[in-house]
Amino acid sequence: MIISPVSLPHLQSGLAVTSDLFRRALAAHASGVVVITAQHAGRPAGLTATSFSSVSLEPPLVSFYVDRSSTTWPSLRAADHFAVNVLAHDQADLAARFASRGVDRFAEPTRWRPGPLGAPLLQDVSAHLVCLPYETAEVGDHILVVGLVVEADPQGPGRPLLYHQGRFGRFLAHPES
């Protein structure tokens, strides 16, 4: 059944869903946690994101969404490539640091090294992906960023860091799987 939004103007405008309701519903969705990093004008930049997703196998594409108000986005946008650092179960502090303003996110105790093309790679993560900018689009109050994966470095079957109901946690495999 197709319901025309024209006949439901209150739904079309999104007024039926308050931001509080939206946030509470989305909090039920558990996500993996990544830190997106880049190097611009000789300085490292990065932010924590749960909006990361795979997009395409051929070509290999991934995506994330960044808030239009992000102070890190101008550096990410200007960089010629970026890295995706997939965080491991014991890296909640790192995730919190890369979501905090007013701190040097790359200072101790953060441990990182320059990657093959220069973007910072965080130590002890579950995987690194190095990406070239492929597409961006303005979507609502965020910017969709699609990257072409040119390097991938999985670090084995480590456990992931998860984010759910506003808290960091760990994955527990179902006993029967």
Ligand X SMILES: Cc1cc2nc3c(=O)[nH]c(=O)nc-3n(C[C@H](O)[C@H](O)[C@H](O)COP(=O)(O)O)c2cc1C
- The one-letter code for the residue type at 92 is A
Taking residue 123's Cβ as centre, other Cβ atoms within 10 Å add up to 11
Shortest Å distance, C-beta 5 to ligand X = 27
Q: Does 10 participate in binding ligand X (rule CB under 6 A)?
A: no
Q: Does 136 participate in binding ligand X (rule CB under 6 A)?
A: no
Shortest Å distance, C-beta 36 to ligand X = 8
End-to-end CA distance of the chain: 36
Point out which span in 22-30, 80-88, 98-106, 149-157 binds ligand X (CB under 6 A): 98-106
- Retrieve residue 165's tokens: 């109901």
- Retrieve residue 132's tokens: 């070239």
Question: In the sheet where 31-32 sits, what is the strand order?
Answer: 31-32, 161-164, 167-170
Point out which span in 65-73, 80-88, 108-116, 122-130 binds ligand X (CB under 6 A): 65-73
Partners of 147 in the β-ladder: 62, 133
Shortest Å distance, C-beta 47 to ligand X = 4
Residue indicated by tokens 């939004």: 5
CB nearer to ligand X: give 49 or 79. Answer: 49
Q: Does 125 participate in binding ligand X (rule CB under 6 A)?
A: no
Binding site for ligand X (CB under 6 A): 33, 47-51, 64-67, 70-72, 95, 98-99, 101, 163
